[in-house]
Amino acid sequence: MRIDLHAHTTASDGTDTPAELVDRARQAALDVVAVTDHDTTSGWDEAIAARPAGLTVVPGAEFSCVHHEEDGRRINLHLLAYLVDDRNEDLRDEWSRLRSTRRTRGRAIVERLVAAGFPISWDQVSTLAADGSVGRPHIARALVAAAVVPDVDTAFRELLSSRQPYYVPKADTDVFTALRLIDAAGGVAVFAHPLARRRGPVVGDETIAAMANAGLAGLEVDHPDHDEDDRAHAARLAADLDLIGTGSSDYHGHNKRTALGAHLTDPVAYERLFDRPTARRPVGDA
Ligand code: AMP
Ligand code: FE
Ligand code: FE
Ligand code: ZN
């Protein structure tokens, strides 16, 4: 069984449509793929409708969250919310608020870049994002199209990272509120890339323990942004806290270099993760 539990589509900052994603999942010989766009479930229907025989689609979303540290710092983190009820009003309202802050904040970043003389526009970025959740990868693509930078990776490193003056944060959801919302909507929560320090500061083990007490079910262990030490540490932490360790590619199409299926979840972990009452079920042949 080849299981990849984290992938993006044009519903957020991936470059494959949901139909293209499930097609690519079969080409990558996957048995299971989760559709986990940022703060939206809008790719689910198309992915499920286009699902090839033999492939199981797990409906999910990647929830933009923040942890308020005792010293006043705010640390951004992502929760994967699987099998939630997409009609749950509280969750829908919160994700709608997040998508709207993504637009306002995307526009603010573009304004800073334009003020610094970079030849891009909000119209162009908004067109690239179409109806999907706007993210910095859309701004990165506009910068590549304008030949400001050679590729998306350079755009992040030189212009879009949180260490750059053009950066504007978004108003993300408190992670403990998010865990309550996911639980109330009948979903399963997994902490995405918990040790991805390359993206910015990460929360400490004591916060992960508090999240485990607040209903977190799993930790992403195998992820492209984790090195060997991170993986070993995440696996140990998962065992200590009785969390389920997963593996996933966090595929974003050509916005990133990682291929779909580059990291996989163990079938036993997959069974354990979803062996509980949930609002939705994975959609497969059985
Ligand atoms: P945002 O959601 O707007 O804060 O942008 C963060 C998104 O950008 C995440 O989903 C990452 O997948 C993506 N990202 C972060 N760093 C890079 C990078 N170096 N190259 C491509 N995508 C990246
Ligand atoms: Fe992304
Ligand atoms: Fe993420
Ligand atoms: Zn992701």
3-95+175-273: CATH topology is TIM Barrel (3.20.20)
Give pLDDT, residue 75: 96
Q: Cα of 42 to ligand 1 centre, how many Å?
A: 19
pLDDT in tens, 244-285: 999 999 999 998 889 999 999 999 999 999 999 999 999 999
**CB of residue 135 inside a 6 A radius of ligand 1:** yes
pLDDT in tens, 43-61: 999 999 999 999 999 999 9
Give pLDDT, residue 199: 81
Enter the tokens of residue 118. Answer: 């970079």
Rounded to the nearest integer, the mean pLDDT of the chain is 97
Is the pLDDT at 159 greater than 80? The verdict is: yes
Enter the tokens of residue 42. Answer: 């809008």
Enter the tokens of residue 272. Answer: 């354990």
pLDDT in tens, 165-179: 999 999 999 999 999
Return the CATH number of the domain spanning residue range 98-160: 1.10.150.650
Domain 3-95+175-273 matches domain 98-160 at the CATH topology level: no
Give pLDDT, residue 74: 95
**CB of residue 255 inside a 6 A radius of ligand 1:** yes
**CB of residue 252 inside a 6 A radius of ligand 1:** yes
Q: Cα of 247 to ligand 4 centre, how many Å?
A: 12
Q: Cα of 79 to ligand 4 centre, how many Å?
A: 9
Q: Cα of 137 to ligand 1 centre, how many Å?
A: 6
Identity (one letter) of the amino acid at 69?
Answer: E
50, 22 Cβ separation under 8 angstroms: yes
Give the number of whichever ligand sits closest to the CA of residue 251: 4
Give pLDDT, residue 286: 74
pLDDT in tens, 101-153: 999 999 999 999 999 999 999 999 999 999 999 999 999 999 999 999 999 99
Give pLDDT, residue 4: 98
Please state the length of the chain.
286
Task: State the DSSP string of the chain.
Answer: --EE--B--TTTT-SS-HHHHHHHHHHTT-SEEEEEEET--TTHHHHHHTPPTT-EEEEEEEEEEEEE-TTS-EEEEEEEEES--TT-HHHHHHHHHHHHHHHHHHHHHHHHHHHTT----HHHHHHHHTTSPP-HHHHHHHHHHTTSSSSHHHHIIIIISTTSTT-----PEEHHHHHHHHHHTT-EEEEESTT-GGGS----HHHHHHHHHTT--EEEEE-TT--HHHHHHHHHHHHHHTPEEEE---B-GGGSSPPTTSS---HHHHHHHH-S--SS--B---
Torsion over CA: 268, 270, 273, 278 (sign): negative
13, 253 Cβ separation under 8 angstroms: no
Mean pLDDT of 191-214: 95
Using pLDDT thresholds of 50, 70 and 90, give the confidence band for residue 200. confident
**CB of residue 136 inside a 6 A radius of ligand 1:** yes
Instruction: Sketch the domain layout of the chain as residue ranges.
Output: 3-95+175-273, 98-160
